[in-house]
Amino acid sequence: MTDAAESIAPLTAPLPRTRDLTTSFLFSSTLLSTIHLNKLVHLILSALVYEPNQLFCRAMLYLHNPKTRTLQGMLGICRDDARSLRVVDMSPDNLLTGHWDLDDLAMERQRQAEFCSMVRASRINLEEDCPIVSRAVRERLPCRISHRDCLDCRGCGFVRRFEMSTFAIAPLVTRDRLVGIIVVDNCHGELAIEDDQLRLLQLFANQSSMALENSQLYRNLEQTHAELRDARQRLVHGAHLAALGEMVASLSHELKTPLVTIGGFAARLGKILEAETPQRQYLDTIISETQRLEHLLGDILAYSRKPTICYSCFDLREVVKESVDDYAIVFEEQGITCDLQLPKARWPVLGDAHQLKQVFINLLVNAQEAMPHGGVLRMSLSRGDTEKPSAVIVLRDSGGGIPEGSLTSIFTPFFTTKQRGTGLGLPIVNRIIQNHGGVITACNYQGGAEFRIVLPLAESSDEPG
Ligand SMILES: Nc1ncnc2c1ncn2[C@@H]1O[C@H](COP(=O)(O)OP(=O)(O)OP(=O)(O)O)[C@@H](O)[C@H]1O
Ligand SMILES: [Mg+2]
């Protein structure tokens, strides 16, 4: 197998004919005419098989995958598929102008051709399949191979698959890195591949390697540029949102004081006005709407406030129990049975007990609102199966579940399906849990919604039981 592949003979005669020079010129101009990788590979292979160039009949491109040490077929073009190659921008007075071009339709036709599909379906394993290809790749030199050299090799079936007789391989190498190989042959190997043809192939392969590398770099640059542009837009958007948030927060603060005054005076008027009169009804509307606005402004302020946690170590069971106890009467009046499962031992959490109570109350209120005609609420506290100690708090109600299609939006500020909701309850909950290093998730199960919170526990000698 050592002599199997014939390498190129030393250059003895002066090079080459005018046709080859014109072809070389057109080829290098073509490589400069586009930066798009896909178009480049179509143009490179088409130029190699374009009939007037009298070079080869079929050309294939295999790209190297260094991870799997394989060459994967990417494109194959035969002479018939390259007929649509045309010279553009050529001046009749100057032969050294112009370049080849292909339109999108022609490239699509090339990709759809049977030969191209065969090439794309083939792969050469450099470790196992073809010692000749492996040698050409190792030595980084073009070589000419006869099908007889491949008779003993049962590995890749490359020669058999493409019915090749004599063919040539040119490695594509940039900065000492193998990009792929170009394989060419002549009318199913009936014609020999001449030294001049092999030299041109080497020249083309060298130029193509550089063009492919440039194109790849350009593509990476474009991608990085697009990512930078996106990041910049996100930053600008973030800054706008922050400014907007600050404005909303200060506006809410300003509005809260007169609202409290209006509510206070309305309540005083309520004591004077007689019940069941139209005036009293108007006043009741003023009172309830004022309360709603106060609630809304309170939520907006809570959401926009900078996250500050007053750290202390407390027992999570107590906070859960206190929150449920606060709602016991409301639940009872609404026909809701509450089943609370708490562990016996102390569960220490380092965090803000007040904020965590706000979390549980928001979830309890949502559950209560989901079960206006009664139902069952199950709440449990158990140990998480995380590496560091954690608590899992699960709330399940029987209120019919979160509306279809809303599951992905419920933690988004101002998302609500309720007529008088603000849609800030769950975003506030989410933020508090995240600030405590925890995670909250929601899902539906038979007949209701389930909220699951995983919260880190403080490192403590008390082992949760
Ligand atoms: N237990 C639940 N069962 C069914 N849907 C729920 C439940 N909890 C939340 N949701 C859905 O999530 C939405 C958002 O809840 P969130 O608490 O953020 O706002 P809200 O309850 O609508 O208003 P508010 O700001 O007054 O709490 C609700 O409008 C509802 O569609
Ligand atoms: Mg709510």
Pocket test for ligand 1, best of 418, 424, 453 (most atoms within 8 A of CB): 418
CATH of the domain at 47: 3.30.450.40
- CA dihedral (220, 221, 222, 227) in degrees, to 10, reads 90
Among all chains, which residue has been given the structure tokens 């374009």?
50
CATH of the domain at 343: 3.30.565.10
Q: How confident is the model at residue 303 (pLDDT cuts 50, 70, 90)?
A: confident
Burial 178-199 (b: 16+ CB within 10 A, else e): bbbbbbbbbeebeeebebebbb
| Spatial distance between the Cα atoms of 259 and 291, rounded to a whole number of angstroms | 9
Domain that holds residue 296: 232-304
User: Does any domain span residue 462?
Assistant: no
Instruction: For residues 330 and 211, state if they share a domain.
Output: no
User: Does any domain span residue 116?
Assistant: yes
Instruction: For residues 68 and 206, state if they share a domain.
Output: yes
Instruction: For residues 189 and 257, state if they share a domain.
Output: no
pLDDT of residue 11: 46
Can you point out the beta strands (E) in 287-341? Answer: 312-315, 336-341
Give the tens place of pLDDT for each residue, 86-141.
988 877 777 677 899 999 999 999 999 999 999 999 988 887 767 777 888 888 88
Instruction: For residues 28 and 156, state if they share a domain.
Output: yes
User: Does any domain span residue 49?
Assistant: yes
Q: At what angle do helices 353-370 and 316-333 cross, to 10 degrees?
A: 30
Say which range, 49-63, 150-164, 197-211, 403-417, has the weakest mean pLDDT: 150-164
Distance 410 CA to ligand 1 centre (A): 7
Residue closest via CA to ligand 1's atom 31 equals: 417
Which atom of ligand 1 lies closest to the CA of 395?
A: 1
The answer on pLDDT for 440 being more than 90 is yes
Which residues are bridge partners to 392 per DSSP? Answer: 382, 454
Say which range, 63-72, 79-88, 232-241, 427-436, has the weakest mean pLDDT: 232-241
User: Does any domain span residue 463?
Assistant: no
Tokens encoding 144: 């000419």
Per-residue pLDDT, averaged over 244-270, amounts to: 84
The answer on pLDDT for 409 being more than 50 is yes
Percent of the chain at pLDDT exceeding 70: 91
pLDDT of residue 5: 57
The answer on pLDDT for 7 being more than 80 is no
Residues 6+ apart with CB under 8 A from 353: 312, 314, 319
The answer on pLDDT for 307 being more than 70 is no
Tell me which H or E stretch contains 278. Answer: helix 278-304
- How many Cβ atoms are within 10 Å of 271's Cβ, its own excluded? 6
Distance 401 CA to ligand 2 centre (A): 14
Residues 6+ apart with CB under 8 A from 254: none
Per-residue pLDDT, averaged over 174-195, amounts to: 82
pLDDT of residue 1: 38
Going by the DSSP 8-state scheme, the letter that residue 245 receives in this structure is: H
| Spatial distance between the Cα atoms of 178 and 434, rounded to a whole number of angstroms | 48
Give the tens place of pLDDT for each residue, 351-407.
999 999 999 999 999 999 999 999 999 999 999 887 888 999 999 999 999 998 899
Distance 301 CA to ligand 1 centre (A): 18
Which residues are bridge partners to 101 per DSSP? Answer: 86
Instruction: For residues 45 and 101, state if they share a domain.
Output: yes
Amino acid at 14: P
Instruction: Give the strand pairing for 390-396 and 448-456.
Output: antiparallel
- CA dihedral (367, 370, 375, 380) in degrees, to 10, reads -20
Count of domains forming the chain: 3
pLDDT of residue 156: 61
Q: How confident is the model at residue 464 (pLDDT cuts 50, 70, 90)?
A: very low
Domain end among 304, 339, 362: 304
Instruction: For residues 201 and 131, state if they share a domain.
Output: yes
